[in-house]
Amino acid sequence: MRRVLFPALLAATALLLTACPQTPPPPPPPPTACTPQATGYSVQGTQVYTLTQNQGIGDFSAPHVPGELLVLPGGLSPQVITSRVSGVEVRSYLPGGLLHLRVTPGQEREKAQELLQAGAHYVQPNYLYRPLRVPTDPLYVNHQKDYLDLIGLAAAWDAYTGDPQLVIAVVDTGYQNHADMTDTSRWYLPSGQILDLADNDQDPWDDTPDAKANNPFSHGLAVASVLGADTNNSLGMAGVTWAGKVVPLKVAHSADGSITTTTVAQAVQKAVALGAKVINLSLGAPTFDQVLENALVAARNQNVVLVAAAGNDGVDGILYPARSPAVIAVGSVDTNLSKSTFSNCGPELDLVAPGRSILVLLPNNGYGTASGTSFASPMVAGVAALYIGKYHQVKGAWPSADQVYQCLIGTAQDLGPSGHDTGYGFGLVRADRVMTDTTYCFP
């Protein structure tokens, strides 16, 4: 049996305590914390991924970028729109015929109504997204075995450790080099490509405020390390996958760390263009996003597997994009297999994975722990990548996104109320079952 070696783990433990800020235990869950409820959904259920075309206006109560609108013109030319509505300027043209407009901050809803009256089909804000983590969780760890064994990774690694050519996209705050995850080993930085979608340049280095703080934390590095840290190299931590190209697509603006609809949608499109088979989105917003949905559905229809974090508010309501039907929504469990108090509930939840006190890479070659559905999501994304690579090796063809979904949910370990429920979805992802199942995975 091949296993990850940890000869430096004891030494690394001291580093964990010095490289990360020490924080008090998390507060108790709020009185409105969600309780898992059975949904009656079946593993054999058919998922339909059709492009919706909403009409009207989006949700202007949700966080959004001041002074920006995203418009489906409905046959109107940009010239006609700007002639009919004063104070509107075309900022950029987006795929699918969408327009990115600039308006006076504070007049977003007013101008949206005027655009509809002028003949536009649909108008929404440029929504703001946030990386999903719970910063109050403790930052110490002894090793990863306790939670990796829950999803059967050691047994899965006996069967397969990953396809070196498989591209996995991490749509997040960017990347940083680390001794345990270098740009000559796991990071994939294709030359000549815009990988920083927020600042429109080729360098996706995470230089956001959190990554430059006194106790720096790079959300993108931490998330990517869960699925792709160098493994079996006698150093530090193990990633879910041992091989593959992890492409960091930076969607957070360097100046303030803000993440918007436009940057995330463009990153999804870029990931597809770069040949990604799996896209991880450990970020979320509270409202449905028509513009991003278009990009997600287009990616899913090209057999790209999309995985996203459910949210860390501990309440009913899966965040978007996790609640999109085109996306695998992932919640968090603790090592005792109970739902993490911070993990959101909802009928759109598909799977759960360990998400509390997960070992991650920190800037400046540090190690630490982090908690949240942000870190459960890349575990599922990593297992999906292992399955895709193994399927290709065995069958000589790539599995469809629907095949990947059916494999993961069909082999999940049922937790909570019997069958699918709002707190655990179809259950705990099981990498060991994925590698051997002949009903859902390798029929």
Q: What percent of the chain has pLDDT over 70?
A: 87
Class of domain 9-27+131-436: alpha beta
The fold adopted by the segment(s) 56-120 is: Phenylalanyl-tRNA Synthetase; Chain B, domain 1 (3.30.56)
**56 has pLDDT over 80:** yes
Phi-psi label, residue 39: left if phi above 0, alpha if psi -120 to 50, beta otherwise: alpha
The strand ranges marked E within 117-252 are: 122-131, 167-172, 245-250
Contact of 223 with 170, CB cutoff 8 Å: yes
Task: Pick the catalytic residue from 178, 219, 253, 420.
Answer: 219
Q: Looking at residues 150-154, what average pLDDT do you find?
A: 89
Reply yes or no on whether 392 is catalytic.
Answer: no
pLDDT value of position 131:
67
The strand pairing partners of 285, in sequence order, are: 320
Task: Pick the catalytic residue from 225, 282, 357, 374.
Answer: 374
Side chain identity at 391, as an amino acid letter? Answer: Y
Each domain of the chain, given as residue ranges in start order, spans 9-27+131-436, 56-120
pLDDT value of position 380:
98
Contact of 271 with 42, CB cutoff 8 Å: no
Reply yes or no on whether 254 is catalytic.
Answer: no
Reply yes or no on whether 402 is catalytic.
Answer: no
**Please, what is the angle between helix 290-300 and helix 261-273, to 10°?**
10
pLDDT value of position 3:
26
Query: What single-letter DSSP state applies at residue 28?
Result: P
Task: Pick the catalytic residue from 137, 172, 180, 350.
Answer: 172
Q: Which residue has the higher pLDDT, 8 or 354?
A: 354
